[in-house]
Amino acid sequence: MNLFGKLILLLSVSVTCLSAQQSTGLAEEFTKLEDHIRNPKLTDEQKKKNFEANMVSSVRSTLTKRFSNPKKELKDLKFQDLQTERPEGTNTFYVKYKNFYFQYLFPVDPETYVTLPSEEIVLEKPEGLDLGAGAHKEEKKN
C-alpha cells in the first residue's frame, strides 16, 4: 500500500471513530431526554393542577357530545363542581357532575401527564331517582 492509500485508510478510520463517538453521545442525550419526559419530577402543586385540568377537560369533552349548546351549558364548569374518586393503584376515576356519573380509564397517570381518557362511560341519573332505595330489587310474590 502506498503512502496515499495509508493516508486515506487512516483518515477513514478517524472519521468512523469520530462518527461513532458522536452517535454514542446523541443516543445518550436521547435516552436522558426520554427519561426526563417519561419520569417528570413534579411538585404536588403541579400534580394537582394537571389532575384538575385533566378532569375538567375530560368532563367537558364527554358532555360536549351530549348537549345541543355545550359552550353555553359548560362555560362555567370548574373542578370544584366535580366529585372524584380513584380506586387505589389504578388510573380509573369515577366522577360526578350534576346528575352525570362518569367512569374514566386513563392510559397514564392524569396527575403526572396532560391526557384524556382512553375509555369513558357516562350515565345520566333520572330526576327523582333515589340510588339508596334499591330501585331494581325484585318484589316478592305471595
Residues 25 and 48 in one domain: no
Write out pLDDT tens, residues 65-87: 888 888 888 988 999 999 999 99
The boundaries of the domain holding residue 81 are: 44-127
Residues 27 and 48 in one domain: no
Task: Give the Cα separation of 111 and 50 in Å (integer).
Answer: 5
For 111, left (φ over 0), alpha (ψ -120 to 50), or beta? alpha
Look at 126 and 11; give whichever has higher pLDDT. 126
Cα angle 94, 97, 103 (rounded to 5 degrees) comes to 25
Say which residues have a Cβ less than 8 Å from residue 70's Cβ, sequence separation at least 6.
Answer: 60, 63, 64
Q: Is 1 among the domain residues?
A: no
> Roughly how many angstroms between the first and final C-alpha of the chain, as a whole number?
109
Confidence at residue 13, expressed as pLDDT on a 0 to 100 scale: 55
Residues 30 and 87 in one domain: no
Most confident of 11-20, 66-75, 95-104: 95-104
Residues 27 and 72 in one domain: no
The reported pTM is: 0.67
Look at 85 and 4; give whichever has higher pLDDT. 85
Q: Is 64 among the domain residues?
A: yes
Residues 71 and 85 in one domain: yes
CB-side neighbour CA atoms (13 Å) of 65: 8
Domains in the chain, number = 2
Write out pLDDT tens, residues 106-136: 999 999 989 999 999 999 999 888 888 665 5
Residue 30 has pLDDT above 70, yes or no: yes
Residues 28 and 86 in one domain: no
Confidence at residue 37, expressed as pLDDT on a 0 to 100 scale: 82
Task: Give the Cα separation of 76 and 132 in Å (integer).
Answer: 30
